[in-house]
A and B are shown apart, each in its own frame.
Chain A
């Protein structure tokens, strides 16, 4: 990755991708450590960024530390490229790093995301950067950092299993639908960031490098390519992926994650893909197929 400062005229006062090189090196060291210990939360000296904490500063710092001028960046929030915060972060890198940006998953070398993993399978020349609000999977069971650190150190995850078990005892099923805990490479329990549990299976044996940045909480963690990522469950209550009863109303996809859209004040609703790029691609495919069919009918 190249860190040359871009032509100094437009943004004389800021370095390529905003962060100074010292800071980038510090972040890269944390990233390397995170890759070496999959799922382990590496503390790093998170910087103030020109966007608020909780709005993607961790992801932005990770992206800023690894992006090069040759990269093509895609930014999504809730699966969509056009949500306001995704627009703002994309514009930030377009301005400070002057990199190419794209909305197409397949064309991106670097994807920064909040709350979703793209539907299209990622490849080993891509990096997925997650924005993480609370990196500690045990935080809501034990608020103290000094305690949770010990629990990770001793691989003492009983508390988490008890919580999931209590869910089953009370509801008959595990009542965690997002930020569903996973075990990485058979060792560390990790918060997949608040992605819906629907996306958990995509993390397992993923070809792309997955990096997680939590700015406010000052932690970076990683899942290297081709790593086992297993959602926690019980033999008699195996992990289940959310299923939708109907296909996407726009593209007809089944098996994609859907958003509920309220159509009127009577509460009529429809379900559409949350991954906007995927949905558009499926719509194009559908149109093409219809065209082909029409052609075949005309010629037969």
Chain B
């Protein structure tokens, strides 16, 4: 006799116990410390801070550890924590021109005021696995010069002096929209879109940016400037009537400069694609900038012909916490709906067989008639 299975509660508890066990792994191996993750897996930490929309290295490290290194799971953990925090206000726009620069490159000028600074980059490394890193690493120390706040002028500002590039976008209204407080509404302003892109999935945006380079809405991009470094975060306190510095964050800024031959709406000039993200996240900043530019198609009067230009398509599917939730929800029971579909398919199948039988019997009838005609049996009917 069938008895409905009970005990979901115990099964869940046991599964989670096993998860904790597997997360810790072999006890003979030392447990990972958060400092180790912050220091030695810092680019993973940066990604989790970006897509988790929360600048806190230690919480991001904790999330990575708890998620067993699954970065989307870590991003989800951080987001679910962030949403419970009080939202006190908005900083003034960060002044990236005053950045303490650690890396700054431009692909549009050979040399420029301040120069090209490579900084800590994978670029030009040979991707050869380094066996020396497998064991204890030799201790070496690098003599680092002090980073000077030498106020490098931004490449886009150099172009702007000549009037060859469009102006930086201006915010409509005093306050930016806030996608963590307001529902997304299509079509959206560029401020809203850039926020969504900043927390969008790196892989998804990378692929879309790539698609524009391969001819799906070509935007003729040049990496005008990529800069990485620390900026001060300032907050205007109305009670005091002035701005105070509340902290410093590391960010990556990418200004794409896109050649643009003009449209009915806009004269020929260089246009911008912009990406700003937490930490050292160059690939992400560049992908955001490519997508930002592609998504400005409507504003600039370009034909919308490719996925990367389609705001609803890009923004509605860029959030990996939403995407993973909905994809993975297919694991939840669906047997009620499946039952309805089973019924339907059985009915349709019966109809199909009936129809086939009907066709077969008519065909048989015809065949018999023909046979009879051949043998002359039906001749008497004439």
Binding site for B on A (CB under 8 A): 13-14, 18, 20, 43-50, 52-55, 57, 77-80, 82-88, 91, 114-116, 133, 143-146, 171-173, 175, 177-179, 194-198, 216, 218, 242, 249-250, 257-261, 263, 270, 272, 274, 276
Contact = CB atoms under 8 A, between A and B. Distances in A.
Contact of A82 (B7, B86, B184, B337): B7
Contacts of B82: 48
Given A44-B183, A91-B9, A116-B336, A52 B329 contact: yes
Given A48-B76, A196-B339, 4 more contacts: A43-B183, A52-B76, A84-B8, A274-B335
B332 to A, nearest CB: 5
Nearest to B183: A43
Contacts of B8: 82-84, 86-87
Contacts of A261: 2
Contacts of A173: 347
Q: Which of A145, A179, A276 has the most CB of B within 10 A?
A: A145
Given A258-B339, A259-B339, A172 B333 contact: no
Q: Taking chain A's interface residues, is the majority helix, strand, or loop, or is none over half, making it mixed?
A: loop
Contact of B84 (A14, A45, A196, A258): A14
5 contacts: A13-B84, A54-B329, A82-B5, A82-B6, A260-B342
Contacts of B5: 82
A115 B2 CA distance: 23
B337 A85 contact: no
Given A77-B332, A87-B9, A144 B83 contact: no
Nearest to A245: B343
Q: Taking chain B's interface residues, is the majority helix, strand, or loop, or is none over half, making it mixed?
A: helix
Interface of B: 2, 4-9, 11-12, 76, 79-80, 82-84, 86, 180-187, 312, 316, 321-322, 324-329, 332-337, 339-344, 347-348, 351
Nearest to B337: A178
Contacts of A263: 2
B176 to A, nearest CB: 15
A218 B183 contact: yes
Contact of B337 (A88, A145, A171, A196): A196
A236 B325 CA distance: 41
Contacts of A197: 340
Nearest to A23: B83
Contact of A54 (B183, B328, B333): B328
Contacts of B343: 177, 242
Contact of A171 (B4, B334, B348): B348
Contacts of B339: 196, 257-260, 274
